[in-house]
């Protein structure tokens, strides 16, 4: 049984990405002669939840759907446990100028329905995902491709941003040079789609056909998604088990109790009620390691009390009122680390030395003064701050602790605003109807600083749930994305972060560790850089 407990992960961030200019791999051939047809063993049961949306890659930007999609599909590249990039469907990804990228598709790839994976499979999927009329959650990720528009429905293919030269060659033309473009291509937004998708996208979302290690056996909503090994899979992530059952739990305590009782093989997140005991209770079958995950309080731009000069003062006051070291120690038993920026310490380029990040310091006197200044400008009087999240996971405990800080320091009301389920919470968040600050948990899609900044705070981005917009930030992000030197790019991303600290569209709380565990029924369990278990390599006796 293998347990990883490093003090830090080695994620391939900007420095690694910039080395990918010539080729987006570390030398592997993107294929394997091992057949999934021989995969044996038992079906591995995994703690999960009900996805918010149909299982379409460009509609999946939350963790429950992502766990299924990442195992149903294979991208041009994939990320190993440390966050390093490996070719998968791509034989090569090459560019002389970081502006025009030539992608060669490896031979032998098919979807689970037997149809070929070609350059067109990627081009049509990206074109669909980018089109405004299709209203895909991840359309933002196609913004760098020539022809993308937020104002009108444009085809990237017709605009010349995507050119299919033949079945194995796709040429991608960007609107500006971006040296870390290849590192993004293992994310769900860039997965291929078979022709059957375009015949009936709605039906496909309920019964997707992918090219990944597994294929869908069944989806019983609010109960479980069952996956079986895909005999057509041609890559290196060959399943070593008989399949996966992603079980939809509505609270983590129940999942943990099932794990202890032998009714569940793997839990992705240990509940706070077990933080002090799980490593002893699981006797070497647990993990507590840094991961590319951050928690913030998102500030909705539609709340009048947080708008304008007074609103900024209130955001600063709330931030200074939160005792992050105390909460992370007492509630999370040290499995969280107080945040000092908007990214993650496991990502290359991270630093805690960013101008303006002292707004995250616990300073009760300053918090009181800032709130009083805001009241002098635009008073809210007898005010109760609401902090929203889903109630079917383990969040109320820390929200209560944060609220206790805020009530004590600012002498205002503060309370948890619960949504019964995760998907109900996401729907309210996406509709802009949340009545207070709300939890913004971000698990990185790919190991780069840019992934923590653009998708969440870029104007019009798919995960910009607070609906914040700042032209200076957008310009600085574009400048950083176009840098051809790693150190210059990092410096520009840090300048972009300093703008975030000036405006506080979100209030960083803490970085998450991956805290998971497994039963003695399974072996070869490993949690990756992004906190998710790597499921294809798990073994289980029948």
CA dist., res. 380 & res. 472, Å (int): 30
The superfamily CATH assigns to domain 291-513 is Dipeptide-binding Protein; Domain 3 (3.10.105.10)
Please report the pLDDT score of residue 72 as a whole number. Answer: 98
Structure confidence by residue, pLDDT tens digits, 433-469: 999 999 998 988 888 899 999 999 999 887 899 999 9
Structure confidence by residue, pLDDT tens digits, 121-178: 999 999 999 999 999 999 989 999 999 998 899 999 999 999 999 999 999 999 988 8
Characterise 220 by phi-psi region: left (phi > 0), alpha (psi -120 to 50), beta (else). Answer: beta
Rounded to 10 degrees, the C-alpha dihedral 200/201/203/207 comes to: 120
Structure confidence by residue, pLDDT tens digits, 334-370: 889 999 999 999 888 999 999 999 999 999 999 999 9
CA dist., res. 350 & res. 386, Å (int): 31
Taking the model in full, what pTM does it have?
0.79
How many helices (H) and strands (E) would you count in the chain? 16, 19
- Residue 23 scores a pLDDT above 50: no
Structure confidence by residue, pLDDT tens digits, 302-317: 999 999 999 999 999 9
Overall residue count recorded for the chain in this entry: 542
Where are the domains positioned within the chain? 14-235+519-540, 291-513
**Sign of the alpha-carbon dihedral angle for 12, 13, 19, 25:** positive
- Residue 73 scores a pLDDT above 80: yes
Whether 477 and 464 have beta carbons less than 8 Å apart is answered as: no
Task: Specify the higher pLDDT residue, 61 or 223.
Answer: 223
Structure confidence by residue, pLDDT tens digits, 480-502: 988 877 788 899 999 999 999 99
CA dist., res. 341 & res. 337, Å (int): 11
Of the candidate ranges 22-31, 250-259, 474-483, the one whose mean pLDDT is the lowest: 22-31
- Residue 26 scores a pLDDT above 50: no
**Sign of the alpha-carbon dihedral angle for 121, 125, 126, 131:** positive
Task: Specify the higher pLDDT residue, 537 or 421.
Answer: 537
Whether 374 and 317 have beta carbons less than 8 Å apart is answered as: yes
Across the range 383-400, mean pLDDT stands at: 92
- Residue 14 scores a pLDDT above 90: no
Q: Predicted confidence band at 180 (pLDDT cuts at 50, 70, 90)?
A: confident
Across the range 243-251, mean pLDDT stands at: 96
CA dist., res. 112 & res. 82, Å (int): 28
Checking DSSP bridges between strand 224-229 and strand 90-94, what pairing results, if any?
unpaired
Fold topology of 14-235+519-540: D-Maltodextrin-Binding Protein; domain 2 (3.40.190)
* Cβ within 8 Å of residue 389, ≥6 positions away: 395, 396, 399, 416, 417, 418, 419, 425, 438, 439
Average pLDDT, the chain: 90
- Residue 77 scores a pLDDT above 50: yes
């Amino acid at each position: 049984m293998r347990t990883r407990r490093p003090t830090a992960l080695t994620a391939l961030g900007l420095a690694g990405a910039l080395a990918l200019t010539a080729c987006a791999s570390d030398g592997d051939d993107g294929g394997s002669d091992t057949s999934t047809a021989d995969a044996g063993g038992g079906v591995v049961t995994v703690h999960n939840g009900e996805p918010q949306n149909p299982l379409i890659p460009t509609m999946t930007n939350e963790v429950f759907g992502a766990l299924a999609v990442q195992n149903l599909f294979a991208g041009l590249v994939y990320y190993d446990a440390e966050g390093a990039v490996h070719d998968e469907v791509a034989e090569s990804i090459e560019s002389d100028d970081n502006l025009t990228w030539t992608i060669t598709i490896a031979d032998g790839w098919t979807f689970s329905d037997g149809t070929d994976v070609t350059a067109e499979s990627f081009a049509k999927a990206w074109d669909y995902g980018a089109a405004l009329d299709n209203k895909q959650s991840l359309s933002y990720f196609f913004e760098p491709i020539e022809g993308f528009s937020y104002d009108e429905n444009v085809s990237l293919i017709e605009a010349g941003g995507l050119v299919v030269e033949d079945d194995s060659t796709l040429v991608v033309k960007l609107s500006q040079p971006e040296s870390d473009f290849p590192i993004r291509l293992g994310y769900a937004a860039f997965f291929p789609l078979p022709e059957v998708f375009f015949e009936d996208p709605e039906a496909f979302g309920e019964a997707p056909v992918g090219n990944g290690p597994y294929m869908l056996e069944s989806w019983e909503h609010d109960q479980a998604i069952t996956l079986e090994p895909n005999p057509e899979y041609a890559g290196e992530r060959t399943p070593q088990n008989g399949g996966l059952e992603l079980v939809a739990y509505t609270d983590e305590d129940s999942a943990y109790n099932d794990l202890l009782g032998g009714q569940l093989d793997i839990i992705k997140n240990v509940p706070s009620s077990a933080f002090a005991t799980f490593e002893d209770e699981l006797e070497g079958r647990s993990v507590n390691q840094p991961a590319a995950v951050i928690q913030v309080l998102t500030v909705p731009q539609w709340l009048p009390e947080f708008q304008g000069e007074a609103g900024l003062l209130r955001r600063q006051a709330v931030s200074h009122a939160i005792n992050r070291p105390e909460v992370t120690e007492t509630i999370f038993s040290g499995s969280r680390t107080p945040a000092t920026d908007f990214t993650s310490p496991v990502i290359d380029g991270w630093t805690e030395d960013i101008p303006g990040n002292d707004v995250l310091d616990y300073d009760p006197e300053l918090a009181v003064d800032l709130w009083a200044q805001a009241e002098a400008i635009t008073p809210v009087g007898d005010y109760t701050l609401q902090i929203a999240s889903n109630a079917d996971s383990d969040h109320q405990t820390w929200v209560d602790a944060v609220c206790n800080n805020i009530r004590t320091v600012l002498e205002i009301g503060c309370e948890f605003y619960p949504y019964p389920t995760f998907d109900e919470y996401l729907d309210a968040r996406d509709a802009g109807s949340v009545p207070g600050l709300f939890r913004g948990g971000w698990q990185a899609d790919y190991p780069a600083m840019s992934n923590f900044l653009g998708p969440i705070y870029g104007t019009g981005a798919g995960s910009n749930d607070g609906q914040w917009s700042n032209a200076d930030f957008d310009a600085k992000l574009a400048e950083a994305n176009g840098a051809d030197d790693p150190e210059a790019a990092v410096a520009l991303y840090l300048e972009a972060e300093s703008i975030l600290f000036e405006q506080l569209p979100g209030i960083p709380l803490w970085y998450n560790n991956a805290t998971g565990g497994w039963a003695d029924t399974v072996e070869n369990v490993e949690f990756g850089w992004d906190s998710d278990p790597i499921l294809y390599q798990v073994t289980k006796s029948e």
